[in-house]
Amino acid sequence: MREDLAENWGIKAVTVYDKPASFFKETPLDLQHQLFMKLSRTYSAFRACSEPSDSGMERSAFTERDAQSGTVTCLPGRPALLVSSTSWTEDEDFSILLAALEKFEQLIDDGESLPPLVCVITGKGPLKEYYSRLICQKHFQHIQVCTPWLEAEDYPLLLGSADLGVCLHRSSSGLDLPMKVVDMFGCCLPVCAVNFQCLHELVKHEENGLVFEDSEELAAQLQMLFSKFPDPAGKLNQFCKNLRESEQLRWDESWKRTVLPLITDT
């Protein structure tokens, strides 16, 4: 955008990148469990496949809590949690994700070592009903897709609990970056994002996520990232580690470093 302003408008500008608010962070396991149990009351994708044999245990699709000790653990063989957010407009083609999920489902049917998936797509917008009908027509066996509208305080908790984010935003101008990815990175959540002109300023391919062009490429990335899930030595875990170790400025600190000097120097 700075280059476009200089070349086409003769304006000299300083770039201020969007940064996540401080409440976008990794979610502790006990808060993950609370969130999953809360969402399970409305959305079946978060409910346990079976009730625990011990009445003193509380179980979601992903976690289990010992009521006596309060200890929360991840369920062995749990699904992978994939999350995306959208305003359901023509700027985002969710048929790309649905086609990739179909290919992922076929890979599981073919015997690949892949986990079941829970795919959560949050948001409201004009095309939500259209895509909801498409989702219902898929009849997935190993994938559950739900499209909730979350309370404001639950959205960062969900991002901080997920295993992978997906971004289908294509900038109509080619000059703006998706804020949803900024928030996901604040939660140390790796992202697969559809490519466009300036995306490389945010998503560093093979460092904090992956960039794809179409559903075939996204499906291959999902297969690679979720192979033998959860794999401590896998690429998904390495992306998380890279995000934790990177210097991630928050919005207020970025403003102080970049904008405040411009104001105080005038």
* Sequence-ordered list of residues with C-beta below 8 angstroms from that of 17, at least 6 positions apart, any chain: 177, 182, 201, 202, 254
The DSSP string of 2-49 is: HHHIIIII------------TT-SPPPHHHHHHHHHHHHTT-GGGB-S
Q: What is the pLDDT of residue 130?
A: 95
- Where residue 55 falls among pLDDT bands split at 50, 70, 90? confident
Maximum C-alpha span of the chain: 70
Q: What is the pLDDT of residue 53?
A: 72
The DSSP string of 197-216 is: TTGGGT--BTTTEEEESSHH
Q: What is the pLDDT of residue 109?
A: 97
- The least confident of 62-71, 169-178, 192-201, 218-227 is 169-178
Residue 208 and residue 191 in contact, taking contact as beta carbons nearer than 8 Å: yes
- Where residue 198 falls among pLDDT bands split at 50, 70, 90? confident
* Sequence-ordered list of residues with C-beta below 8 angstroms from that of 22, at least 6 positions apart, any chain: 250, 251, 252
Average pLDDT over residues 121-149: 95
Give the pLDDT confidence of 63-120 residue by residue, as tens digits.
Answer: 999 988 999 999 999 999 999 999 999 889 999 999 999 999 999 999 999 999 999 9
Q: What is the pLDDT of residue 266?
A: 55
Sign of CA dihedral 101, 180, 35, 26: positive
- The least confident of 90-99, 136-145, 195-204, 254-263 is 254-263
CB atoms within 10 A of CB 160: 22
Q: What is the pLDDT of residue 2?
A: 55
Q: Which of 24, 45, 26, 21 is nearest to 148 (CA)?
A: 45
How far from 172 is each of 87, 92, 102, 125, 201, CA to CA, in Å? Answer: 15, 10, 27, 18, 16
Q: What is the pLDDT of residue 77?
A: 92
First to last CA, the chain: 23
Q: What is the pLDDT of residue 170?
A: 85
How far from 89 is each of 95, 129, 167, 202, CA to CA, in Å? Answer: 12, 11, 13, 22
Domains and CATH numbers, the chain: 26-76 (no CATH), 79-242 (3.40.50.2000)
Average pLDDT over residues 189-211: 94
Distance, in Å, from the CA atom of 20 to the CA atom of 187, rounded to the nearest integer, reads: 9
Q: What is the pLDDT of residue 9?
A: 63
Distance, in Å, from the CA atom of 1 to the CA atom of 16, rounded to the nearest integer, reads: 10
Q: What is the pLDDT of residue 50?
A: 83
Q: What is the pLDDT of residue 234?
A: 92
Give the pLDDT confidence of 8-30 residue by residue, as tens digits.
Answer: 666 666 666 566 788 899 999 99
Q: What is the pLDDT of residue 54?
A: 76
Residue 185 and residue 213 in contact, taking contact as beta carbons nearer than 8 Å: no
% of the chain exceeding 90 in pLDDT = 71
Structure token digits, residue 162: 């997920």
| Average of per-residue pLDDT values in the chain | 89
* Angle, vertex CA 260, rays to CA 255 and CA 266, nearest 5: 150
